[in-house]
Chains A and B, each alone.
Chain A
Amino acid sequence: EAGVAQSPRYKIIEKRQSVAFWCNPISGHATLYWYQQILGQGPKLLIQFQNNGVVDDSQLPKDRFSAERLKGVDSTLKIQPAKLEDSAVYLCASSLRIAGGKYEQYFGPGTRLTVT
């Protein structure tokens, strides 16, 4: 079974530029998550999708971050414009579904973003 795929693996941009990350979850997983992980810290949930609907985006900085999952499969996360403090690893995860909260999440390898 293929895992969660993410691209690119690394990205270096200057502040005020834009960047986009792509995620392909495990086949059949209805729930998709985007996390931000700053070095030395635990993951911080940015947004959670159930199929193509947003379940929770309370911690997404909506003035600069956006995410979509149009067909309920792949997802993209965009930052525009980037700030220095956005330097982090962006992790995508998926799980079978959200109902009951019993299902573990499977993570992709992450995208390491450096904003200079």
Chain B
Amino acid sequence: AQSVAQPEDQVNVAEGNPLTVKCTYSVSGNPYLFWYVQYPNRGLQFLLKYITGDNLVKGSYGFEAEFNKSQTSFHLKKPSALVSDSALYFCAVRDGEDSNYQLIWGAGTKLIIKP
């Protein structure tokens, strides 16, 4: 069965420090991986995705994510956190070989950046 896990409910980082939000997945075929961000009282916004190619994917707002096939992980990273990065982050995965193409969502990680 397909699944995605975000092992941390909350991540606290000081402004200016690097941040990592973790995501691991399980699919039968090739994974299509996505990160979305949700600011308070707003809908989700697409950050970046991995479909194929380079394992390091760059996205919006200075975020990047590294696809690691052996560890089945797709951790979100940013070299220097901003207070405005505080939000709820969701990882999602789709099995590229599943004709249903339903996106499986993680439970979310709350990122808090302290000044």
Which residues from chain A sit less than 8 Å from chain B, CB to CB? Answer: 4, 6, 40-45, 48, 55-56, 91, 93, 98, 100-102, 104-110, 112
Contacts and interface: CB of A to CB of B under 8 A. Distances in A.
B33 to A, nearest CB: 11
Give the size category of B's interface with A. Answer: 20 to 34
B44 A100 contact: no
A109 B39 CA distance: 10
A8 B95 CA distance: 34
Given A56-B100, A107-B45, A42 B34 contact: no
A106 B107 contact: no
Given A45-B103, A98-B101, A101-B101, A108 B96 contact: no
Nearest to A10: B41
Interface string B33-51: 0101000011111100101
